[in-house]
C-alpha cells in the first residue's frame, strides 16, 4: 500500500468542560401525561405482547400538570409510535419507596410482575402478579415473599434450571441475610435461606462476572457492623454463593450497579454509583480482569452522583458499544442534580455527550419507544424540571450512520485510537479523500488531503476528544479521535 507521512503542530488548550454532541436527547413534545416517580421505579417492557415498549411506573410526586399525588402505580400502553395511554384501573397496588421487576416466571411467553414498597397508608408489601399476555395482571395469592421496607430484588436463573428465580436483599429492619426464592418452573416459589450471603443488605446485581456460565452476585450496601461495603459472591452453578474476598471494589451504598462488556474483551465491566464510606457521592468504573477481580479506572470523566441515583449501560449511538447513563445528585445537593450520558469511544475511553434534567431519589428506564431504532430515556424523582417531582420522556435525536456511511465505515480505519497524537488513517478501496479535524467546540483546526492506503499523521494535540471528518466524492464519515499523552 502507498504510505504518506503527514506532520502538523497544533498547540491547543484542553476543553474539558465542553460536551461532544454525538449523542443528543430532546424533551419529547408533546410530553406523555406521566405520574411522578419520586422514590419510585420505572421499567419499559412489552406488557401487552404487541411488539412495542410499554411503561410501568411507581412512586409519588407530581403529575405532568403539576398536581400532586401519593403512592401510585400506572401502566402506560404504547401505540408503537411513542404515544402512551395511561391505565390506572389495573388491580396492582399503588406504591411508593418502591422496586419493581418483570420476568416470565411461568414460561407462557409474557412478562409477569413483582413489586415491593409502601402504600399511601404506610403499609409495606411485596406482591407478585401474573400477566395474561395482554397487559392484564392478576395477583398471586399466598406467595411466600416477605414484605420489604428497605429492600431490593432481582430475577435470574441462579440454579441453572432455565426458569426465573428471585434474590431478595433487605427486610423489615436492620441488616438481614440475602435470601433466594426458587422457582419450580411454573411460577411457584419456595424460600431457601441457605444462599451463603449473610450479614449484608443493599442494591444487588446478578450477572456472570467470572465467565463460568452462571449468575454471580454483587451487592452494595451495609454489613451487620455498619460498614459500607461492596461484595462479590461467586455462584457454584446451583444457586449457592461464596464470598470472593479480594474483588477490588470500593464500598458504596444508596446507589446502583450496572454491568456490561465495555471494551470487547468478553467479560463484564462495572459502573457503580452512590455514597462512599467517606460520605461523598461517587460514580466509579471498574474493568473486569477476568478472574473475579476488578481494577478501578480513575481517568474516566464520570461525575460522582448519588442520593439514590441510578446508572445503566446502553448503546445510544448505535455504534456497537455501550455508553453510560447516570442520574443523581452531586456533592452539595440542589441544584447540583444531573442526568449524564457518556459516550463510549472505545478502549474504555468515555466523553460527556449529553446532559439534561436530573433528579435524586430517582429512577429511569431506557428503550426505543417510537420505532426509530434509537434508545430513548424516561427519568423521574425529585428533579430540576417542572414540575419538580415529575417524570420526563426524552427522545433520542442522535445522528447515526446511514447504509452508505457504513460502506465507507468498513473501508476506513483510524488506529491506534486513543493515541498520543501519532496515528494512521487507512483508506481501503478508496482512491483519495479530504480530512478535516475539529475540536469539540466545533472549530476546524486542520485540513489535509488523504491518499488511498495508509496515511500516517503526527499531531501535537492537548489531551481530549477531536472529530475527524473524511469526505470522498460521494460520502462523508465522522470519527472520534482521542488524544492521551
Q: Where are the domains of the chain?
A: 25-396, 412-483
pLDDT tens sequence across 450-471: 988 889 988 888 877 788 888 8
To the question of pTM greater than 0.85 for the whole model, the response is no
Q: What is the Cα–Cα distance from 360 to 342, expressed in whole angstroms?
A: 19
pLDDT confidence of residue 396 = 96
CATH class of 25-396: mainly beta
pLDDT tens sequence across 262-306: 998 999 999 999 999 999 999 999 999 999 999 999 999 999 998
The answer to whether 28 and 393 have CB atoms below 8 angstroms apart is yes
Cis before 335 (ω within 30): yes
pLDDT confidence of residue 18 = 40
The answer to whether 300 and 307 have CB atoms below 8 angstroms apart is no
Angle at 303 between CA 302 and CA 306, to 5 degrees: 115
The per-residue DSSP string of 155-201 comes to: EE--SSSSS-EEEEE--SSS----EEEEE-SSS-EEEE--SS--SEE
Q: What is the Cα–Cα distance from 37 to 69, expressed in whole angstroms?
A: 10
For the domain covering 412-483, report its CATH number: 2.60.40.3080
Element (H, E) at 407: helix 403-410
pLDDT confidence of residue 108 = 94
Beta-bridge partners for 337: 329
Element (H, E) at 410: helix 403-410
pLDDT tens sequence across 201-256: 999 999 999 999 999 999 999 999 999 999 999 999 999 999 999 999 999 999 99
The answer to whether 482 and 348 have CB atoms below 8 angstroms apart is no
pLDDT confidence of residue 440 = 66
The answer to whether 381 and 337 have CB atoms below 8 angstroms apart is no
Res 21 pLDDT > 80: no
pLDDT tens sequence across 400-411: 654 445 455 567
Mean pLDDT of the residues in the chain: 89
pLDDT confidence of residue 403 = 44
pLDDT confidence of residue 110 = 94
Amino acid at each position: 500500500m502507498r504510505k504518506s507521512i503527514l506532520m502538523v503542530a497544533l498547540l491547543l488548550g484542553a476543553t474539558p468542560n465542553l460536551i461532544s454532541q454525538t449523542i443528543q436527547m430532546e424533551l419529547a413534545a408533546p410530553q406523555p401525561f406521566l405520574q411522578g416517580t419520586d422514590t419510585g421505579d420505572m421499567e419499559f417492557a412489552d406488557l401487552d405482547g404487541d411488539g412495542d415498549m410499554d411503561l410501568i411506573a411507581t412512586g409519588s410526586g407530581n403529575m405532568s400538570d403539576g398536581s400532586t399525588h401519593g403512592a401510585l402505580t400506572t401502566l402506560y400502553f404504547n401505540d408503537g409510535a411513542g404515544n402512551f395511554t395511561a391505565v390506572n384501573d389495573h388491580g396492582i397496588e399503588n406504591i411508593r419507596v418502591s422496586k419493581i421487576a418483570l420476568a416470565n416466571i411461568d414460561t407462557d411467553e409474557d412478562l409477569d410482575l413483582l413489586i415491593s414498597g409502601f402504600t399511601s397508608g404506610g403499609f409495606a408489601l411485596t406482591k407478585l402478579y401474573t400477566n395474561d399476555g395482554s397487559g392484564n395482571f392478576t395477583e398471586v395469592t399466598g406467595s411466600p415473599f416477605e414484605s420489604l421496607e428497605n429492600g431490593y430484588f432481582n430475577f435470574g436463573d441462579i440454579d441453572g434450571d432455565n426458569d426465573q428465580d428471585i434474590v431478595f436483599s433487605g427486610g423489615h429492619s436492620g441488616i438481614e441475610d440475602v435470601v433466594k426464592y426458587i422457582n419450580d418452573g411454573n411460577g411457584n416459589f419456595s424460600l431457601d435461606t441457605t444462599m451463603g450471603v449473610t450479614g449484608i443488605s443493599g442494591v444487588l446485581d446478578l450477572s456472570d462476572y467470572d465467565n463460568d456460565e452462571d449468575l454471580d452476585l454483587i451487592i452494595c450496601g451495609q454489613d451487620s457492623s455498619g460498614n459500607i461495603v461492596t461484595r462479590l459472591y461467586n455462584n457454584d452453578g446451583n444457586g449457592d454463593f461464596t464470598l470472593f474476598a479480594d474483588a477490588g471494589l470500593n464500598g458504596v451504598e444508596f446507589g446502583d450497579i450496572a454491568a456490561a462488556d465495555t471494551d470487547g474483551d468478553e467479560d463484564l465491566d462495572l459502573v457503580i454509583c452512590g455514597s462512599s464510606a467517606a460520605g461523598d457521592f461517587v460514580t466509579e468504573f471498574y474493568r473486569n480482569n477476568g478472574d473475579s477481580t476488578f481494577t478501578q479506572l480513575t481517568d474516566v470523566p464520570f461525575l460522582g452522583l448519588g442520593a439514590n441515583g441510578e446508572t445503566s449501560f446502553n448503546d445510544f449511538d448505535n455504534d456497537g458499544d455501550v455508553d453510560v447513563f447516570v442520574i443523581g445528585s452531586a456533592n452539595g445537593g440542589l441544584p447540583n442534580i444531573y442526568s449524564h450520558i457518556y459516550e463510549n469511544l472505545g478502549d474504555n475511553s468515555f466523553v460527556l455527550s449529553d446532559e439534561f434534567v436530573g433528579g435524586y431519589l430517582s429512577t429511569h428506564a431506557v428503550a426505543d419507544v417510537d420505532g426509530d431504532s434509537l434508545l430513548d430515556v424516561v427519568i423521574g424523582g425529585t428533579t430540576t424540571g417542572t414540575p419538580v417531582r415529575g417524570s420526563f420522556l426524552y427522545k433520542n435525536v442522535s445522528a447515526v450512520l446511514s447504509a452508505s456511511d457504513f460502506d465507507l465505515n468498513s473501508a476506513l480505519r483510524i488506529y491506534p485510537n486513543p493515541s498520543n497524537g501519532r496515528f494512521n488513517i487507512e483508506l481501503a478501496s478508496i482512491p483519495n479523500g479530504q480530512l478535516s479535524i475539529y475540536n469539540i467546540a466545533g472549530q476546524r483546526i486542520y485540513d489535509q488531503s488523504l491518499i488511498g492506503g495508509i496515511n500516517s499523521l503526527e499531531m501535537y494535540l492537548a489531551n481530549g476528544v477531536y472529530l475527524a471528518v473524511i469526505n470522498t466524492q460521494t460520502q462523508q464519515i465522522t470519527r472520534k479521535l482521542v488524544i492521551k499523552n
